[in-house]
Every structure is written in structure tokens, then in C-alpha cells.
Amino acid sequence: MTQSFDVDSFIRSRKQTRVVSDLLKAQAADYLATLAPLVRPQPLFGEYLQGAPRGSGRETQHHFKEFRTLFDKHAALRPFNLMNELEVPLNIINSTPELFPLEYDHALPGGNSVRVTSPARWVVGYSSFELSRFRQVIRDPNRSGSELHRFVVHYLMLFHCFSRAGGLGRLFRGLRFPVGFQQLDDFGELPFCVISSPVASTLPSDEVIRHSTEISGSRSFEELISEDAIAAMQDDLREQLIRAVNAAPSA
């Protein structure tokens, strides 16, 4: 996309991005649903989790101690400022993972900023704990401390389960939807689990973003997926096989 704002070209890129993003998200959600049993908290926490069967005493105690340390590290910090401690057994209302849009702020020249959504990366959370609602609770000066506490506990629980699931990262990477952990705008140092797609999305020039937001009257924007990005997709297994063949003895 060039510096000049071509409305027809931009609309075409937006439509193309939406079609590709929907397909990618559906594939990522299908993989996530299939592998969800590997990140269920019940086997890890046993009796420390409300309604879960008793587990291996030493192992479940180890996971709870790790989780309590994780909670103590993040809950008291801004923007949460939570002072209440964990109650045992932990009440995990829903442990079904779901994908939510990844958003971040992008500063434009002149001091303005737009909220950008990625069409090729998603934050993993639990159903009934939408990331957008979490953001609303944080920003609400009259927020419910108990609701905020539940959000922090659930997202930290998901991070703990994903980070302790041995081999899960290799599985997702093999499926070409790698899993990583990162901090997000509005949530301080809280770590989130993010699934990326095999195709990259990018921002056009600030001039294009400015024109688009002025026309739409919105302060939000979505990254774009180009045909070149799709053509540039890499197959890690293919590359690995090619390297192996090239390195094999000739005789």
C-alpha cells in the first residue's frame, strides 16, 4: 500500500484481510479446542481447585505454590491494586479456552493514537471472561473488586497451565500456529498467552491509517494481510527436510 490513499484498493485489502482472518481464526480455534484437555487446571491443582478430584499431593501442592507466587507477584501491581489473597479451594468458573482479539495502541504523528486489532494473532482466555470486559473492569473507577479478582485469577491460571504443559508449544508450532506469552496494553505486567497464525499482518503507513479513521470517524484500525504475506508463508517441516537432504552424504 502506497502513501496515497486509494479508497478502492483499501476496501479490497480490508475485505481480503477479513476473509483470510476468519479462516485462520477458525483453524486456530479448532486446534485449541482439540488440545484443550492438555491445559485443564483440574489435573494440576486437584483438591486446591473447587470441584476437582483429589490429585497427587506433592504435585498439586507444588502447582498451587507456584500459582500463589504468580498471583502475589501481579495482583497487587497497577492497574489491579488487589489486596485480597487467594482463597482455597480456587474457584475456576470456566476452564474452556477461547480466542479473543489482540489489540494495542498505535501512536500517530500529532499526538493522536488509534486502537489496532490484529487479524492474525489472538489472546487465549477462558469462556465468560472476555478480554474486552476485563479491560472495561480495569478502567471503571467504580469497579467490583471481586470481579477484577476473578479476571486476574482466571488469566493467570490459563498462563500457568499453558506454560507448564510440556510439549504443547511444539505441537502448536508444528501446526504452524505458534504460542507465545506477552504483555498487553492496559494490563500492566500481566502475562497473556497469544496464538499467532502462519501468515503475518502489518500496518500500512500512518497516512493511510489517518485517512481511514477520518473517513470512518472511528479511532480503531485493523492490520492488513496482503497477498505477498500469504505467498511468503513458510513451511518449517519442508525447510527442515530440504536442509536434511542437502546435508546428507552424496555417496
Residue 5's pLDDT is 67
pLDDT tens digits along 8-57: 899 999 999 999 999 999 999 999 999 999 999 999 999 999 987 776 68
Mean pLDDT of 108-131: 95
Model's pTM, two decimal places? 0.91
pLDDT tens digits along 177-196: 999 999 999 999 999 999 99
Per-residue b/e over 26-45, b at no fewer than 16 CB within 10 Å? Answer: eebeebbeebeeebbbbbbb
pLDDT tens digits along 77-112: 999 999 888 989 999 988 999 999 999 999 999 888
pLDDT tens digits along 126-157: 999 999 999 999 999 999 999 999 999 999 99
Residue 250's pLDDT is 72
